[in-house]
Structure formats: C-alpha cells, structure tokens
Amino acid sequence: MPREGFYIIRCPKCGHYTYAPTRQKTRLCVYCQRIFKINPLSAVFVENAETARTRMKLYQTGKHHKDFLEAMEKSRGKIQSLIPDNDMDLEQLQDNRHEIQPVSARRRELEKVLYRRARSKPLDLHVLEKECLKVGLSWEWVVQQIETLIRSGHLISPKPWQVRLVTDEIEPTKQRGKQVSPTQLARTIGNILRKSKKPLHQEELVSQLQNEAVSSTGIEEALNLLRNQGYVLKTSKGTYQWTGD
C-alpha cells in the first residue's frame, strides 16, 4: 500500500465524508461511530492532509458529490498503481486453527490485546485487527466491542483510525453515571464553538459545559478530535475557533 498521501472516503454506514492516511486500512466514522474498512478504489487520492481536509469539507456540503465521483475516477489509476498485486486481504491472515471461544474468553483476549498495545499510546485499527486475528478473534465481533467501548468512554479515538484505552477496568455493559465520551463531548464543544461569535479559551469552554463529569483531559481529547477532522483551529493566542461549514 502507498505510504504517502491521504484517501478521502465516504462512510458506507451513514454517507458522511472523511479522510485517512493511505497506510490505514480501517477507520472509525466520527458521525455514526461505526468502524469500516477503507476501499481504496472508492476513494479520492490527495497528496497531503491539508488538501484532504479542504476537499472533505467541500464534499460534506452535499453540493459536490458529482465532483467527488469524478475525482474518484481520476484517482483510480493512481491508486491501482500504488497497490501491490500481492497485497493480501486481512481476512486471509485468519488462523483457522483457533476454535470459536465463548464470549467471556473472547472478552478476556480482547482486553489483553488492548492493555498490551493500546494503553500507553494510540493503536492503529489495522494493527489491532492483525493482533486480534492472531488470537482467533473475529474482526466483526471486535468491531462491535470497540464501538461499545468507545460509547461507554473506556476507549477514545484520538484519530479516527486509532484507539487508546483510557480506563483501568473495562466494563462496557455498565453505565458510568453522567460521564461523557470524548466523541459526545466533541459534538457538544463543536456546537458551542460554532455558535460563538469569537474564538474561545479552554477555560471558557469549561465554564459553558457545566458538567461535573467533564475533565480537562476529556476536553483536550474532544478538541483534538475536532482539530483532526478540520472543524476547529487552534489560534496563535491559544484559543479555539470553529472553521467548519
């Protein structure tokens, strides 16, 4: 797979546009919170992240879908030339010697992988998939668990193609009081910044949130999500400004 450049893609679940580095094979949609595999032949190839963000926001308006389809066709030859013929699909890496495990055993295996690989730093989703396949975990099942863990706040997604474990105990079936996940918080902060007539400091955001379950770390994670998606800009004065449509 190409190591430089970015794909602009459309979520097959909800239809929103997004982007990812060409080295990524899987990503999380920040809109519908579903994980999906990237199909390079249904993507637009661009050289850098700035171009990807600009064109993604243009397509997101809904008025340029035809332009996206035309750009996708133009990109196809370039993308095909960058993908090796022997680029094996990840499903082919499954070790069929593993027997289907009961849910409790699968959950323990997934927890081990997350503690080992995603606790100290973010882990790319395609790497997580390989690690899970090694221990006999179905990726379809893992995707469901990851989505649940993100909604419950046990995992965060610093970038839409990454996850990081942020709690010491994984209890996805239990409610955690009023604690808000980074993605939910990002939506709330995005609405505050979008309606604001001026850029806001982080302290001003805290005062407007008025939620005891929101920590400064959670706000930083949420702001990073918005910045990575190109919706928020951090100014030279340390304030945050809405740049989305």
The confidence score (pLDDT) of residue 213 equals 61
User: Looking at per-residue confidence, does 66 or 146 come out higher?
Assistant: 146
The confidence score (pLDDT) of residue 125 equals 94
Reported as a single tens digit per residue, the pLDDT across 166-224 is 865 554 334 444 556 667 788 888 889 988 889 998 878 877 876 556 666 677 778 87
Which has the closest alpha carbon to 208: 224, 188, 233, 232?
Answer: 188
Please report how the helices 182-195 and 202-209 are oriented relative to each other, as an axis angle in degrees rounded to 10. Answer: 100
What average pLDDT does range 47-66 have in this prediction?
Answer: 86
Show the beta-strand stretches assigned E in the chain: 6-10, 17-21, 26-28, 35-37, 44-46, 123-124, 155-156, 162-165, 232-234, 240-242
On the question of pLDDT at 12 being above 90, the answer is: no
Comparing 26-30, 61-65, 87-91, 162-166, the range with the smallest average pLDDT is 87-91
The confidence score (pLDDT) of residue 205 equals 84
Comparing 4-8, 153-157, 168-172, 228-232, the range with the smallest average pLDDT is 168-172
User: Which tokens go with 72?
Assistant: 């996708």
What percent of the chain has pLDDT above 90? 14
Reported as a single tens digit per residue, the pLDDT across 229-240 is 778 888 888 888
The domain spans of the chain are 6-82, 90-165, 182-242
On the question of pLDDT at 45 being above 90, the answer is: yes
**Residue 214 and residue 155: Cα distance in Å, rounded?**
15
Q: Which CATH architecture has domain 182-242?
A: Orthogonal Bundle (1.10)
Reported as a single tens digit per residue, the pLDDT across 31-42 is 788 888 888 888
The confidence score (pLDDT) of residue 168 equals 55
Instruction: Decide: helix, strand or coil at residue 123.
Output: strand
> What residues does 19 pair with on adjacent strands?
8
The confidence score (pLDDT) of residue 123 equals 94
**Which residues, 6+ apart, have CB-to-CB distance to 6 below 8 Å?**
19, 20, 21, 22, 45, 46, 47, 48, 49, 51, 52
Reported as a single tens digit per residue, the pLDDT across 129-153 is 999 988 888 888 899 889 888 887 8
